[in-house]
């Protein structure tokens, strides 16, 4: 048997978490190994099943390895708000992981693979690999920033702007983990769920999507979104800032 090429040579073989973190902070081989070690115990969850249920206790921090999920809450009268979409490489259980019971439910949008990180490992990480811990810390900051951006969406943007912004954010996030090409991707959710995420009714989401199609900004065929005019869409959604692109660790953290 000849020497095997290093596995990390092919980006598709890197787990999504490592891939995501490596975008911003260069990781040493040792750190990559630690990350890989964190994601040992995996478990499969079927579509439409809860990965975590609000109010229940749960084991620790989870990482989504494969598939997609949504974080949501339903109010007493049945209204539902989707807080965000969870993609491979994202943590599940933040911000809830420091509470004694889950604050929100997480449901699988497709068949998913998740991996649990016990609290004990996490604490050890804080002490043994402060730089890695800081990087994870920082990825939580990104998540908080996405909540804030989502809030602006729902609070101050029209239906068309919201949908446009939503499609762009998904494009950017999926590209970051290699699940979208230059301008298209597979939509992981239904229009009803988009409505619950953007606080719009299903008919309104449909209407907004049709408008975007008629304006030749996007095309959607069979759940595949194709961005036809990125510039136009970004202008409409006030996405010029492309805040996701500005996700860069402050200099002091990347060194040290």
Partner DNA sequence: CGGTACATTGAAGGGGCTCAATCCACGTGG
Partner DNA sequence: CCACGTGGATTGAGCCCCTTCAATGTACCG
Residues that bind DNA in the complex, under the rule CB under 7 A: 158-159, 190-192, 195, 199-204, 206-207, 209-210, 220, 222-223
Nearer residue to a copy of itself within complex by CB, 182 or 251: 251
Nearer residue to DNA within complex by CB, 82 or 159: 159
Nearer residue to a copy of itself within complex by CB, 93 or 180: 93
Nearest of 79, 69, 43 to residue 58 by alpha carbon: 43
Nearer residue to DNA within complex by CB, 56 or 79: 79
Identify which range of 45-53, 68-76, 175-183, 204-212 contacts a copy of itself by CB under 8 A.
68-76
CA distance 196 to 162: 12
What count of residues does the chain have?
A: 256
Q: Which does 253 bind (CB under 5 to 8 A by kind): a copy of itself, DNA, none?
A: a copy of itself
Q: Which does 44 bind (CB under 5 to 8 A by kind): DNA, a copy of itself, none?
A: none
Nearer residue to DNA within complex by CB, 92 or 205: 205
- Residue 37 in contact with a copy of itself, rule: CB under 8 A: no
Task: Enumerate the H helices of 87-129 as residue ranges.
Answer: 119-128
- Residue 201 in contact with a copy of itself, rule: CB under 8 A: no
Q: Which does 159 bind (CB under 5 to 8 A by kind): a copy of itself, DNA, none?
A: DNA
Q: Which does 97 bind (CB under 5 to 8 A by kind): a copy of itself, DNA, none?
A: a copy of itself
Residues 95-134 that bind a copy of itself (CB under 8 A): 95-101, 103-104, 119-120, 123, 126-127, 130, 133-134
- What is the Cα gyration radius of the chain? 19
CA distance 212 to 10: 37
- Using CA atoms in the order 37, 39, 40, 45, what is the torsion angle rounded to 10 degrees? 180
Residues with Cβ < 8 Å from 126, sequence gap 6 or more? Answer: 133
CA distance 86 to 107: 9
CA distance 147 to 103: 15
CA angle 211, 85, 202 (to 5 degrees): 35
- Residue 202 in contact with a copy of itself, rule: CB under 8 A: no
**224 bridge partner residues:** 186, 221
Residue 2's alpha-carbon distances to 5, 8, 11, 103, in angstroms, are: 9, 17, 22, 51
Residues that bind a copy of itself (CB under 8 A): 71, 73, 75-76, 79-81, 83, 94-101, 103-104, 119-120, 123, 126-127, 130, 133-134, 137-138, 140-145, 147-148, 150-152, 154-157, 199, 238, 243, 246-253, 256
């Amino acid at each position: 048997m000849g020497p095997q090429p290093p596995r990390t040579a092919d980006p598709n073989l890197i787990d999504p978490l490592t891939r995501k973190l490596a975008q911003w902070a260069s990781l040493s081989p040792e750190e990559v190994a630690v990350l890989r070690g964190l994601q040992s115990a995996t478990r499969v969850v079927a579509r439409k099943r809860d990965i975590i249920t609000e109010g229940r206790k749960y084991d620790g921090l989870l990482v989504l390895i494969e598939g997609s999920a949504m974080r949501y809450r339903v109010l007493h009268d049945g209204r539902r708000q989707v807080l965000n979409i969870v993609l491979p490489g994202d943590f599940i259980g933040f911000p809830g992981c420091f509470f004694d019971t889950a604050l929100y439910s997480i449901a699988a949008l497709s068949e998913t693979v998740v991996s649990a990180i016990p609290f004990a490992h996490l604490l050890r990480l804080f002490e043994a690999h402060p730089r890695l811990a800081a990087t994870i810390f920082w990825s939580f900051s990104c998540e908080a920033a996405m909540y804030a951006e989502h809030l602006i969406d729902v609070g101050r943007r029209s239906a068309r702007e919201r949908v446009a912004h939503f499609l762009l954010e998904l494009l950017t996030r999926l590209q970051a983990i290699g699940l979208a090409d230059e301008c298209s991707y597979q939509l992981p959710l239904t229009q009803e769920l988009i409505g619950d995420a953007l606080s719009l009714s299903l008919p309104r989401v449909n209407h907004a999507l049709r408008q975007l199609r008629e304006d030749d900004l996007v095309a959607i065929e069979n759940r595949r979104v194709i961005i036809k005019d990125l510039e136009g869409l970004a202008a409409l959604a006030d996405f010029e800032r492309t805040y996701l692109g500005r996700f860069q660790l402050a200099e002091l953290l990347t060194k040290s």
